[in-house]
Amino acid sequence: MQIEKNTVVSLSYTLKNDNAEGPVIEVAKETDPLVFLYGAGNMLPRFEQNLSNLKKGDAFEFRLESTDAYGEHDPSAIIDLNIDIFKMDGKLDEEMLAIGNMIPMRDSEGHMLQGRVVSVSPTAVKMDFNHPMAGQNLHFTGSILDVRKATDEEISHGHVHGHGGHAH
């Protein structure tokens, strides 16, 4: 079976920064593969396009430019927030504000964001709301471990159920 809309894809891959010789960012091994519902909008569109029509046993290698991945690094997404926002019961949680920590937050419209602590001063916390891989070109190599037709329930829920997927 070929990868197409509403198929469940299991794959292993190595993700490197920029090219085949770049540093490894992430690995999904055969023993713990990436499993997703193809065409449900859960993956990067260009990532899915590069897997289209592959089948079980096929190998793949492709590069995504940053603009087709997580976008360019946006300096305006690095902002200073008043330190009082991070106080609970009048106390600052210094462990939470360790440099590099990712903190879930909401913007003024209530949307969830992930911010990385860049620096802390007596009055402000500098947060970077860029995706951690913003500005990076991504190089994928891997193989398709399995392709199967998605169940009606998986299609209606927009994600995979069972092994490697979501448990309800």
Q: Tell me the domains of the chain and their CATH numbers.
A: 7-70+135-157 (3.10.50.40), 75-128 (2.40.10.330)
Distance CA 22, CA 34 (A): 21
Q: Is the pLDDT of residue 129 over 90?
A: yes
Mean pLDDT across the stretch 122-127?
Answer: 96
State the pLDDT at residue 163.
67
State the pLDDT at residue 166.
57
State the pLDDT at residue 30.
96
pLDDT tens figures, 74-93: 999 999 999 999 988 888 88
